[in-house]
Amino acid sequence: MEAPQYLLRDVPQEERPRERMMNYGAEALSHAELLAILLRTGTKDESVVHLANRIMRQVGSIRQLVDLSIEELTEIKGIGTAKAIQIKAGIELGRRITRTGKEEVKAIRSPRDAADLLIEQLRYLQKEHFVCLFLNTKNHIISQETLSMGSLNASIVHPREVFRAAIKCSSASIIFAHNHPSGDPTPSPEDVALTKRLVEAGKIIGIEVLDHLVIGDMKFVSLKEQGLM
């Protein structure tokens, strides 16, 4: 028996995402409806609404969708390279809009200043990302770099790579940060051990490690404030 076709014309006018957005505003739309607007078109077998709902069911949550690569998105039935790029572009635009204003911070004076810059960048990621904020003598951020992805350990995050990047941009001090995909920012013993190793390396080179932040879901822990470095 041939599978039924779900076309946009089968969806009542008032239930179509674009019409709902026009009538009620973007905030009234579900994740799947916003995704449908980004995708623009469905396939020959299903409407864009059904496609978007199927994608959300398959990936499980908006948080998991954010972390999918273009290659992983194209493995989903109905998503080609063009649609995958549209999704990733929409996600990145949202991230940049969220950061607008926060980037106007002139200097990092507290762990909260640094966390406010990084939480939205890191909170949805499904792998651990180790980020360095490189600061000048006035505590202004002169560069930001992601140096590793994956579980943190001494073999992945090596002082040589960290301080090579710091020297390259003439950094006077560094703030480290990484995310916990679980959403719980409690530092692990490995986080503490790695931080102490990097602090010691910084003392030898003459570049101060100001802090290491562990980012969770809208929460963070400062190892400096906790007396763990």
Do 219 and 118 share a domain, yes or no?
yes
Q: What is the DSSP string of 125-174?
A: -SS-EEEEEEE-TTS-EEEEEEEEESS--TTTS-HHHHHHHHHHTT-SEE
pLDDT at position 78: 92
Separation of alpha carbons 44 and 80, rounded Å = 13
Separation of alpha carbons 17 and 33, rounded Å = 5
Contact between 8 and 42 (Cβ < 8 Å): yes
> Phi then psi for 188, rounded to 5 degrees?
-90, 165
- Asked whether residue 1 is domain-assigned, the answer is no
| pTM metric for this prediction | 0.60
How far, CA to CA in Å, does 176 sit from each of 1, 147, 195, 209, 224?
58, 10, 9, 8, 11
Of 101, 127, 154, the one marking the end of a domain is: 101
Do 218 and 153 share a domain, yes or no?
yes
- Asked whether residue 2 is domain-assigned, the answer is no
Task: Provide the domain limits for residue 33.
Answer: 8-101
Do 17 and 117 share a domain, yes or no?
no
- Asked whether residue 71 is domain-assigned, the answer is yes
- The tens place of each residue's pLDDT in the chain, 229 residues long, gives 444 444 545 554 445 788 888 888 888 889 989 999 999 888 888 888 889 999 999 998 887 888 888 999 999 999 999 999 999 999 888 877 766 655 555 689 999 999 998 998 888 888 889 999 999 999 999 989 988 887 655 446 888 889 999 999 999 999 999 999 888 999 999 999 999 999 999 999 999 999 999 999 889 999 999 999 8
Total domains in the chain come to: 2
